[in-house]
Structure 1
């Protein structure tokens, strides 16, 4: 069994990754920015039915500072670098996202190399693969890279692209014998374990709350967080994963309206506030004059970007749940946690 550092331990993906690692018998050290968050992580794991005992410890480290990363990495066999900022809106200053993502990734990699870590798995994103491209291109795999200068590339997409590029460059020139794998999920849904929601799950909450009166013509890939966590475990342990990128998706894109239809079809009265209609593009552009979230949607209207998980299925034996199951798991967890408006 391995000793594994997981960065950003209380994050949506990270908590599920820690759950999977513990279930597989590994020992986990979770990095936190504040030791007071340790109780929150224990609560998240308890919600998932996991009692870590003494196999979970903590290290205090911040992606924006050097302090703490050497101690966090000491004695570790592997590092799963999951932490990265992902805001709901578009920041005024893109560097608010880009600098922590890039510099933080390099801090983690340097500390891991110096500690003799064998393999680092970085949680990247489809955001580093499918944007800034010719709009006629509708299917992507791990050979594709987002072009940061593209017109539809927003700060989050740029941050993930530049951070992953920096990681591969570091391994090529300064990584020594340490191995790197990246996991590139599309939109990550699935069961929330607590009230601090990811951006993707927050979208489901907004639909259930009636905060979205009609669906803009947006399309996105879907994958369940439990499957993303399993893919991290396979990427960490399988010799065939070394030096590879792996897209994580349950299948082709869903439109926002299809997500709404899925919720209404399965949740009955709980979905009474879910939008029924698609919003014409001109109305979204009009709303963008006053609403930052609508402004962020405008460059993506009507664009379909499908992705293939064939590589992860073939090399690692990974089999994700259907997209609809991930969507419903998000909704059901929000209802169970009492986070949907009454």
Structure 2
């Protein structure tokens, strides 16, 4: 295999976790290669932040910054320090032997790496409502913590769709800003824990409408017009109505981009990659995970960036240890025959907070 196709470390992803890892690794002179994908998971390079207009909670930008602008700046910083960025999607991997093999979208032969950082992210589930695309980020959001405090939602009626703990948490968070928050639950009961359900139902600014679904988002009929209302339907009686609403927040889950790692990388029941708590270690030595692909609780740009830093530092340590072993054991370079991966990597388990 051509040595020109081998890298010390390959990063798969294009969000804050991926670019933070790239900056740290390139500054450590490890010449990382980052595959940012070409509309991977249906999202432009840069991840979910590219679907966000204003980011007001990322440190260092007191006046806020556009999501795409923030990701462009991160990409520029990665390149400045020497990261090689390739706009192709990794479609297949073989992590069962070393060096690790990865197949880019338009390549017949794989590229190889001594270490891999998985930062493929997750995407918010959408409901496909009529008007959803038109008012996405102009009233519709999948992250209350990210967007709930922006001016268009302040002292306005807001709606949350979902019946679990996340929906309850988001509704109570949004109650700090909105005039009232209505939670739409398709079934006749909340899936949230008893404690969370009790808190939600007792909250003076929150009300729950059971057996109710949204059918259409309505709003201003102009370019970049804002959402102003929501059509809803009672699934038992069939009764329909139109309610005033200036914000709609989805709390129906996210889907981590982990399909190509199934059966090799250990995951939880929702297909999030399991890492050793407080680290980026997966069950395979030399393979690290960072960002939303392994974080189903916080899902913030800043926490993703932090986990990307962790992954880079741990990958750097791993590569240094590998080089040290090669010097001690003799000239067994990565260009020799593939060596089987030791499955007994660092002990890991699901984060107990999740």
Q: Shorter chain as normaliser: what TM range?
A: 0.3 to 0.5
Greater helix content: 1
The TM-score normalised by the length of structure 2 is: 0.32
The structure whose Rg is larger is 2
Greater fraction strand: 2
**TM-score normalised to structure 1 length:** 0.33
